[in-house]
Structure 1
């Protein structure tokens, strides 16, 4: 193997060293390496549908390493690219896996999630050029897609420079390099940057999506992917760092990839390399930096990272930037309140059926009739269960789903498709739908109180009081919101808030910014109008009432006693 396929040998040695603990790596890289090694053994079975062809992987590695560097000292010295073992494994090995029956490529989606300064542009440009001229795809169409012209050129520019600086490559494949595109006249292949969607009639054989975290929606990704239908073995390539938008498509893609590596999702056509720190690692530690940056002291110096880390430890703003760009963590809003890593470590939530008979407190955020509003049910601890269980319901007028110019319309449509929204007819929320649900709640659950902000809700409150509900007014003031907001955070940090990982609530929670006053009071706020926080506000209101009652009867202290936890 090492003589005939030296690059594959280096890549697989990297995988074995990672699994053996000889190379520092996070959980996700260990799982990706183990997956390859395990599936190579499985491929000997007739029942396993895939096999690994080292020749195909070696071919990609050799091609990319014939290309020149385009930046820095290596470019000045006119040196060809040398792929590091982690790069050989991340980008060449997936090209070697094929479907036994069709002999076409197995992996159609390739995700390399890696911090800045780790050679992302070189990797993407190399893959793009291979798919452009060396993949044996007649009439190949390769697009470097982005939301801005500047970003689209971040991959296309180095690819074009590689071609322009390699006359032998031009001659071998008959490449014409123009100002804004490259093409091969003999078969019509082309490589070009695209801002937004590709044009009608496009049939991408390869789509390169750089810095996917900057995309507000999955529009470009989806359009590229659906356009690949006519190709036998297309490749969707996403090479990106983390970002600040935990509700965006990049975060969703990374989360899906993590679930795939963990075995929770069956995604046999996805190859994912996720370089970041582990949950238990301190973000400012040397260990975290080495796990997240595979090119540590190669293309990104350890001293540079340590210097930026020192700066980040002195500034909350710089900390978020450092953690996204160099530790590769999604940190939610730029001044996010909630620790979203802890949020995702919530205990298992009981179903509504299991919670019947248990005291229940409801929070209603009805601040607007023209956008999404929230109803949140909170079930406090009992003697045999120390956790608060949360169930949410979100309402939206039908007009908002399809409204032109609505930033969140695609997100709302996806949530609706998943059955996470209650859509009411017309231009505004039909409050009668909320009243009907509250009546059902009163009949089904042991509802103690319904907390509401009187803005927009006076008539609803009166109607529900006539139905026997105990309606408690909570105005959205700092005085009313600060303590329950702090309690909400404490419950999350102590892993006692079972929220069911509701995608709508998770997105909204990531949008919450904590406004702090001189007396250390906090108040839930948001950075932008489109950053909805209705769910968290309703949750804080419901918890405000639940915690008051729990503290008055001593249940909260009893349930949180370490002796009782787990009994």
Structure 2
């Protein structure tokens, strides 16, 4: 059996009820006890490194919390066969104020020190903004340059843009995710701060490219749940879930995820430690200060309910699906990511666009049994994408802002960006002509207000065009079908994050007439694809009638008169 006092103490405290853990951390402990600790034939804890790191941190920085003392041994857990780390990725996800930045500050400083002992073990701290990237770097810089820390001054040379160890020639640098270079360096470790803000994998792909050129390469992903869906955070979070649920081998990625298990726990301060280990009783001085701040924010929700979303997400590290405001939960949205059934029946066509100067989405709705498949394609104007999503900016390859990954969606064949002052309607006409050749679409449903130019062009090509005079008036009628379809996983969008983005941007508003589907944000958060889907659902019964008639004719053909 492998033994380490900090790991054993943490597990023992949980089993004795001295610390409160959420389900994902309990699963983590189960994996450690089952897959790691019994394998002394494969692995070993480098006790010297573990103790050196803890002593270094507590001498020059601060006393480490229990959760930091627990994770540290796994950073220095090695395979016997090659002396490389068992875990080279650490995902640390918890509520704001838990001490994530302080933890990576001590790690970064230790990694470049003579105690770690690896020459040219460079550290890159990467974040979307320069201020965030500098957070841990600045803490390290301030500690080294403190007038009382003569020992650190002799060991490290600290400048405003880099910190270097004299003995190892290892350095710490901060970088923003819009770095102009597309090549990774020769990093020993890369730390991604606030990784929930990354739109895609591009940043990690670039900065991880330099790993492997020195021994013991590592990556650290730290953050709190955010508001960007279908970005890198969701990808990494699902990977962590699969590891914790035993679907992926417990090696390589160490998932330390702190979150509420249920939103009802938000109203029980004793459960807050599930989301933030810094709030574990008994509280130290920093923990008391944090608890008081969180409690103050919690009490304000009585008078400022609009702050609930930020509090739940950032403090409780919980993504709340508000069924009164969202058209579908995250689980329901992800359930649309299924392969299409055989598209061999005649579909209903539909389209929607907010303006000919931004987005337009065309779609086809198919039906099989109780399921509906919606196949869509979107056109977007380049100028709009440049202004609002940085489409032409070379830094956009790295996903630097909170924006839709237009380039990736275009590359994946989900949309096309056209360099025109306004959308040429023939793009839409030609798409439906092509779809008619493939699937036999004949009828197209659209907002009457948007059909002035398109309707005669589509009808000239032989399509039947049905206008909806006031689209919002059909929403209350369709709301039950929409809710039932998402709740019971009847809708299929295929592997189409663009359609999920459209749908996630929808705000369900209660009116006297019933529920209507509006935008959560007026400009950047487009809903064209979802509205096109709703237009098609308006005539979904015709798909049912068509299927019923086919069955009727088949039955008649089989009769012998």
TM-score, normalising length from structure 2? 0.77
1:161 to 142, 150, 154: 142
Which segment is superposed worse, 244-253 or 123-132? Answer: 244-253
Residue by residue, what CA displacement relative to the aligned partner does 1:498-527 show, whole Å, maximum 9, x if unpaired? 555742222222222346667665342242
Residue by residue, what CA displacement relative to the aligned partner does 1:375-421 show, whole Å, maximum 9, x if unpaired? 44445684xx4xx433332234796999698435652333355x452
Distance 1:320 1:33 in 2: 30
Change (3 A) 1:506 1:397: closer
Distance 1:350 1:198 in 2: 37
Alignment of 1:29 onto 2:25: yes
CA contact (8 A) 1:111 1:272 kept: yes
Change (3 A) 1:331 1:536: farther
Residue by residue, what CA displacement relative to the aligned partner does 1:463-488 show, whole Å, maximum 9, x if unpaired? 66677765322256432445435652
Alignment of 1:6 onto 2:5: yes
Distance 1:317 1:92 in 2: 39
Alignment of 1:51 onto 2:31: no
Alignment of 1:93-172 (within 5 A): 93-133=73-113, 134-164=115-145, 167=149, 170=152
1:488 to 482, 492, 510: 482
Aligned match of 1:504: 498
Alignment of 1:322 onto 2:311: yes
Alignment of 1:390 onto 2:382: no
Change (3 A) 1:505 1:315: farther
1:435 to 422, 425, 432: 432
Shift of 1:549: 8.5
Residue by residue, what CA displacement relative to the aligned partner does 1:300-322 show, whole Å, maximum 9, x if unpaired? 65565444334335544210110
> What SS is found at the alignment partner of 1:276?
coil
Residue by residue, what CA displacement relative to the aligned partner does 1:240-291 show, whole Å, maximum 9, x if unpaired? 1111222433333323333343345568422221111235756545575332
TM-score, normalising length from structure 1? 0.76
Alignment of 1:165-564 (within 5 A): 167=149, 170=152, 174-197=155-178, 202-215=185-198, 219-264=202-247, 268-278=251-261, 281=264, 283-286=266-269, 289-296=272-279, 297=281, 298=283, 299=287, 302=291, 304-312=293-301, 314-330=303-319, 337-344=326-333, 346=335, 351-353=340-342, 356-357=344-345, 361-367=348-354, 373-379=360-366, 382=369, 385=370, 388-396=371-379, 406-407=389-390, 410=397, 411-417=405-411, 419=412, 421=414, 423=416, 430-440=427-437, 442-443=439-440, 450-454=444-448, 470-475=464-469, 477-485=471-479, 487-489=481-483, 491-493=485-487, 496-497=490-491, 499=493, 502-514=496-508, 522-527=516-521, 529-546=523-540
Distance 1:371 1:256 in 2: 35
Distance 2:470 2:69 in 1: 55
Shift of 1:220: 4.2
CA contact (8 A) 2:351 2:445 kept: yes
Shift of 1:435: 1.3
For the aligned residue pairs, the C-alpha RMSD in angstroms reads 4.2
Change (3 A) 1:132 1:340: farther
Distance 1:365 1:175 in 2: 60
Change (3 A) 1:10 1:205: same
CA contact (8 A) 1:113 1:275 kept: yes
CA contact (8 A) 1:7 1:58 kept: no
Shift of 1:347: 7.9
CA contact (8 A) 2:410 2:417 kept: no
Distance 2:49 2:381 in 1: 50
CA contact (8 A) 2:23 2:261 kept: yes
Distance 2:37 2:83 in 1: 18
Number of aligned residue pairs: 521
